[in-house]
Amino acid sequence: MKTDILAIAKRYIPVLDWGRDYNRDAFQNDMIAAVIVTIMLIPQSLAYALLAGLPPEAGLYASILPIILYAIFGTSRALAVGPVAVVSLMTAAAVGQVAEQGTAGYAIAALTLAVLSGGILLTMGLLKLGFLANFLSHPVIAGFITASGVLIAASQLKHILGIEAHGHTLPEILYTLNEHMVDVDPVTLAIGIGATGFLFWVRKGLKPLLISRGVKPKLADVAQKAGPVGAVVATTLLVWGLGLADRGVAIVGEVPQALPPLTMPGLSWDLVSALFIPALLISIIGFVESISVAQTLAAKKRQRIDPDQELIGLGAANIGAGFTGGYPVTGGFARSVVNFDAGAETPAAGAYTAVGLAIAALALTPLIYFLPKATLAATIIVAVLSLVDFSILTRTWTYARADFVAVAATILLTLGLGVEAGVSAGVLLSIGLHLYKTSKPHVAEVGLVPGTQHFRNILRHKVETHPEVVTLRIDESLYFANARFLEDLVQDRVVENGPVKHVVLMCSAVNEIDMSALESLEAVNERLKSMGVKLHMSEVKGPVTDRLKRSHFLDEMTGQVFLSQYDAWRTLTKEDPEPALEAAQ
């Protein structure tokens, strides 16, 4: 009994598992990774809070308790949880519909969104619904993230230019930017362009330069990751030293010097109902992004990720964010890769990062008073442009036109109607694409390859056929969406050729036959019977056979169930057929 309780506890609280083997070497590696990620996260957290329309401290708060909770409940050894660009943009779009930016109601709505998202993720995890992430196709997700990257970069141009602009779609943003172009502040523009150019150079050119000067690769890598901090320090000193805040340069201003406060989300029905759908979409996108990163990094060390437990870990992190002044969070690609490359051994690296950010919230916030918002905007632009990948359009166009249509539609809807419309379209298109592809399954008429017991498509190979026997290999499970398709196909094939006496459905690729498909098979059987043609099945998998035996179909079927297609061929092409073995797999 005690062993069972311990196993359950380890299942839902992974820290009890990896924590038992924690040692000094793991501690050292985790601490090094934590220092590097903390340096990266300080400006990034401030910037993403700005993107979400929240005070900069909200970004720090969303990166402290959520990381600790994920370290306790998550299964990834390298995933770094916190604010990310796409979720921050989705937060701004969702909260902006129920409250005005800068008001207390806006902050409360962001807290509510985090708790709702956490509750949805936690519920999905407890119900073991991690498989639902598979309903979002990767090309569609890539299209959505690309469009979101463009939207995010466009939304930050107002800070680079020092003008007012608003909107949640690309046309709105560009229209309002154009309206206020006469108000561009030259000093802010100089800071913004300078910071953006510097950060792009740091990302591509700093590390090779340092290595060429004799700096060790690992130290050069740390310096590259600290590039945004250098931009923050330099521009802050510039604004402070030259008094540029008095000349119209927008600055961060006063940031509370405190640990994350205990906060309460809004509980009114109107607020919860207004934010539920956005919270669901944020949960789906956040989970897909997080699990993709976690599984990619885990595979490199042959570690295992439990999708259902990841839902629980991310759910706990979001609930924690909602009660400590934050907003929705998920696993970030860039910071997770940095965490992995820096040598993080366990989720404890995230906890140490949280401690570093807490120290920053307590001691360093007065130092960013004169930090120009243009620098934070530059940080966001450089980060999100790495997400933009329009090559997905050419790749899908070349490989599969249906995927191209889905990706293109997702990109256009996201840019034209906003992130919620884009992600909703992505979900619907992913499901629709699956239904479309499986509604017309590949069904090949097959014949015997001479000298073998193998059967191949008669249109691709030289095979033996028999005028009285038609064998159709079904390369998809049969369910409501494609059941009628099979009916029509069998009907058309039999009508084409009068001598046909036997139709064999080769079911080696059929993993499921639902009730709608069963009714279609019954209809096919009756229709062929009236035409004097027998219906047979071959290579039916055991679980499918077991389900068919629960109905009267096998008793009423005019033909037989053959263990292999070769048995069917040998039996049905003889004048005096031998008894066939029924499938008992």
**Domain shared by 372 and 290, yes or no:** yes
Helix (H, G, I), strand (E, B) or coil at 443: strand
Alpha-carbon distance of 275 to 130, in angstroms, equals 22
The model's pTM is 0.76
- Answer with the one of 345, 364, 387 that is the final residue of a domain: 387
Domain holding 566, by residue range, is 443-572
Structure tokens at 409: 């539609």
**Domain shared by 379 and 451, yes or no:** no
- Answer with the one of 354, 387, 420 that is the final residue of a domain: 387
Q: Does 111 reside within a domain?
A: yes
Q: How does pLDDT run across 277-303, given as a tens digit for each residue?
A: 999 989 988 888 888 788 777 777 777
Q: Does 208 reside within a domain?
A: yes
- Check: CB of residue 480 under 8 Å from CB of residue 519: no
Number of domain units in the chain: 2
Q: What is the DSSP letter of 247?
A: G
Q: Does 20 reside within a domain?
A: no
**Domain shared by 331 and 235, yes or no:** yes
Q: How does pLDDT run across 524-552, given as a tens digit for each residue?
A: 999 999 988 999 999 999 999 999 999 99
Q: Does 402 reside within a domain?
A: no
Q: How confident is the model at residue 2 (pLDDT cuts 50, 70, 90)?
A: low
Alpha-carbon distance of 258 to 359, in angstroms, equals 9
Q: At what angle do helices 419-439 and 401-417 cross, to 10 degrees?
A: 160
CATH of the domain at 537: 3.30.750.24
**Domain shared by 364 and 501, yes or no:** no
Q: How does pLDDT run across 388-414, given as a tens digit for each residue?
A: 888 889 998 998 888 888 889 889 988
Q: Provide CB contacts within 8 A for 282, sequence distance 6+.
A: 87, 90, 91, 94, 113, 117, 328
**Domain shared by 544 and 449, yes or no:** yes
Q: How confident is the model at residue 219 (pLDDT cuts 50, 70, 90)?
A: confident
**Domain shared by 492 and 375, yes or no:** no
Alpha-carbon distance of 403 to 565, in angstroms, equals 34
Alpha-carbon distance of 299 to 76, in angstroms, equals 11
Residues facing residue 504 across a β-bridge:
471, 536
Q: Provide CB contacts within 8 A for 246, sequence distance 6+.
A: none
Q: Does 19 reside within a domain?
A: no
**Domain shared by 63 and 174, yes or no:** yes
